[in-house]
Amino acid sequence: MLPSIPPSRAEEHREHGLADRDLHGGAARGGACKRRMSARPAPPFARLFFALWPDAATRAEWVACQQDWAWPEGAHLTPQDQLHLTLHFLGRVPRDRLPALQQQAQVPFKPFELCLDRAGTWPSGIAWLQPSVLPEPLLALHRELGTLLQGQGFELEDRRYRPHVTLARNARAARAPAAVAIPWRVDGYVLVESHAGTGGGYEVLCRYGETIGA
Q: Where in the sequence numbering do the catalytic residues fall?
A: 84, 164
Contact status, residue 49 vs residue 70, Cβ threshold 8 Å: no
Q: What is the largest CA-CA distance in the chain?
A: 50
Contact status, residue 123 vs residue 86, Cβ threshold 8 Å: no
Q: CA nearest 196: which of 44, 19, 75? A: 19
CA atoms within 13 A on the CB side of 8: 11
Residue 58's H or E segment, with its range, is helix 56-68
Q: How many CB atoms lie within 10 A of CB 78?
A: 23
Contact status, residue 190 vs residue 208, Cβ threshold 8 Å: yes
Q: 198 to each of 18, 97, 123, 195, how far by Cα in Å? A: 10, 25, 30, 9
